[in-house]
Amino acid sequence: MMQVIVASAILFDMDGTLVDSNLCVTLAWQAWCADTGADLDEVMRICHGTPSRSTISKVAPHLDLEYEIARLEDFVRNVDGGQKPMPGAAEILASLPPDRWALVTSAVEETARFRFVHCHLPYPRVAITAQPGRPGKPAPDPFLAGAAALGMAPAECVVFEDSEAGVQSALAAGCRVVVVGNGPALRPGVLARIQDFACVRVDMQDRLKIAIHL
């Protein structure tokens, strides 16, 4: 069976969506918690899909936020967790015109670039990364920014996301969503669920035809 979704642009999450980096993220948080004494269980409960700034401010409000963000990101870029592109990710990105897709991630720009280089993926022309002063997922702001940067209405964009916070963010922005993996529950506005991009093909005409083989 095949499902076809018509859209003007695609907005991609990164960790757990384009890049299999879950082990890297877990190891980085483990190292940070070991150094700071923060509660790892609480960190893992709230961190997935949200900016590290938000997580650190909740679990360790007594620490210097900017210093701890920088230290965590250093762990992120130095742990060996076997990060790799999700199956089919390189192919789908290569098939898309640069002005029809964007990255919308809770990672900072340095980490996003590091992951794309490490995984040999083309870094996007439009990348919405974690920024001080801009609300992150689950607020709608990141996906609103991604759609606006491409010159598209949110309703014309399809989002690929693996986290609950990311799905909430995309739906709140008015985008349609395809869930990657087994995490977030299906709900109105979520069009399909995939395990990776091996089952996805995109045909570019005036608009994108996203074919998902279910």
Q: Which one of 13, 20, 141, 162 is the catalytic residue?
A: 13
Which of 91 and 50 is assigned the larger pLDDT? 91
Identify whether 74 is a catalytic site residue. Answer: no
Please give the single-letter amino acid code of residue 88. G
The radius of gyration computed from the CA coordinates of the chain, to the nearest angstrom, equals 17
pLDDT number for residue 80 = 67
Determine the Cα angle at 58 with ends 55 and 61, to 5°: 120
The answer to whether 11 touches 147, Cβ cutoff 8 Å, is yes
pLDDT category of residue 99 using cuts at 50, 70 and 90? very high
39 is annotated as an active-site residue: no
Q: So what's the pLDDT on residue 39? A: 93
Section 116-141 average pLDDT:
95
The per-residue pLDDT for range 11-20, each reduced to its tens digit, is 999 999 999 9
Q: Which of 15, 20, 141, 162 is catalytic?
A: 15
Percentage of the chain beyond pLDDT 70 is 99
d(CA 75, CA 30) in angstroms, rounded, equals 9
pLDDT of residue 119: 94
- Hey, what amino acid is at 47? C
Average pLDDT on 103-118 reads 94
Whether the per-residue pLDDT at 206 is higher than 80: the answer is: no
pTM: 0.91
Mean pLDDT estimate for the chain: 93
The model's confidence at residue 190, banded by pLDDT at 50, 70 and 90, is very high
pLDDT at 10 over 90: yes
**Is pLDDT above 80 for 6?**
yes
Residue 209 neighbours by CB under 8 Å, 6+ apart? 4, 5, 6, 202, 203
Give dist(CA 155, CA 157) in Å, integer: 5
